[in-house]
Chain A
Amino acid sequence: RKEVEQDPGPFNVPEGATVAFNCTYSNSASQSFFWYRQDCRKEPKLLMSVYSSGNEDGRFTAQLNRASQYISLLIRDSKLSDSATYLCVVKGGAYNTDKLIFGTGTRLQVFP
């Protein structure tokens, strides 16, 4: 089993749609959680950190459920520019707080 797993993509959605991505992680000692976005042939860029209380940044909402070891990302009112791969990232663990592990990624394609 992979340490961090995500929905298999791709997601093809029209502009204006709401889309949700899910992620599960296996290490219960993980300490922090992030969503990154990666455009084709570019480096990953931080989209948002994920907190237990949930957090929102404009059209993006992230949730963390530590009991279920589950992370989600909701994108409302999708734009063409949201097309990218979304990577769930889990950091920290029992033996090394610096370990940063990527999920498999979910490709989003927003069409007009």
Chain B
Amino acid sequence: DTEVTQTPKHLVMGMTNKKSLKCEQHMGHRAMYWYKQKAKKPPELMFVYSYEKLSINESVPSRFSPECPNSSLLNLHLHALQPEDSALYLCASSQDGTGTTEAFFGQGTRLTVV
């Protein structure tokens, strides 16, 4: 099973709303990622959690707040977003922190900010 599950698949939110994106994997992977992807562009790294600790924050605005409640779950809390934050948000996981293992992606949450 190489499944990473993301919910919701689609989300429309206003600029004053607070919402959360969820990601779950049961492969025992210890690294989990959030990426943002705009149309016709490659995925852009936002955050990496390694062994449930935030190891990389690619200078992401504070209106995006990641959380890793346990080794299987990863959340992305959204608050006061802008229309330009509309994008596909992808979650991924990889086995461990050795740098040698591939990552598996969820189907993504397509976010529209209105």
Instruction: Report B74-114 residues with CB < 8 Å from chain A CB.
Output: 88, 90, 92, 94, 97-108
Chain A interface category by residue count:
20 to 34
In whole angstroms, what is the CA distance A53 to B17 when docked? 51
Q: Which of A54-62, A63-71, A72-80, A100-108 contacts B (4 or more CB under 8 A)?
A: A100-108
Residues of chain B within 8 A of A89, CB atoms compared: 103
Interface string of A33-53 (1 = CB under 8 A from B): 010000001111110010000
Q: Min CB distance, B68 to chain A, in Å?
A: 13
Tell me, in angstroms, the Cα distance from A104 to B102 when the chains sit together.
18
Check if B102 sits within 8 Å of A92, measured CB to CB.
no
Smallest beta-carbon distance B84→chain A, Å: 19
Residues in A neighbouring B94, C-beta threshold 8 A: 91, 98, 100
Which A residue sits closest to B49, measured CB to CB?
A98
| A105 with B102: CB separation less than 8 A | no
The B interface, classified by DSSP as helix, strand, loop or mixed, is strand
User: Are A87 and B42 touching (Cβ within 8 A)?
Assistant: yes
B55 touches A96 (CB 8 A): yes
Q: Give the residues in chain B near A93, CB-CB below 8 Å.
A: 99
In the complex, A25 Cα to B103 Cα: how many Å? 18
Q: Residues of B contacting A100 with CB < 8 Å?
A: 33, 45, 48, 92, 94, 103
> Among the listed B99, B104, B108, which residue makes an inter-chain contact with A98, where contact means beta carbons less than 8 Å apart?
B99
CB distance from A80 to the nearest CB of B (A): 21
Q: Could you tell me the distance between the alpha carbons of A89 and B48 in the complex, rounded to whole angstroms?
A: 15
- Residue ranges of A at the interface with B (Cβ–Cβ < 8 Å): 31-32, 34, 41-46, 49, 87, 89, 91-93, 96-105
Q: Which 6 A-B pairs have the closest CB atoms?
A: A92-B99, A97-B99, A31-B99, A102-B42, A43-B105, A98-B31
Further 4 A-B residue pairs, CB within 8 A, beyond A43-B108, A44-B90:
A44-B43, A89-B103, A98-B31, A98-B99
Return 14 A-B CB contacts under 8 Å, by A number. Answer: A42-B107, A43-B90, A43-B106, A46-B104, A49-B102, A91-B94, A91-B99, A92-B100, A96-B48, A96-B56, A98-B55, A100-B45, A100-B92, A102-B45
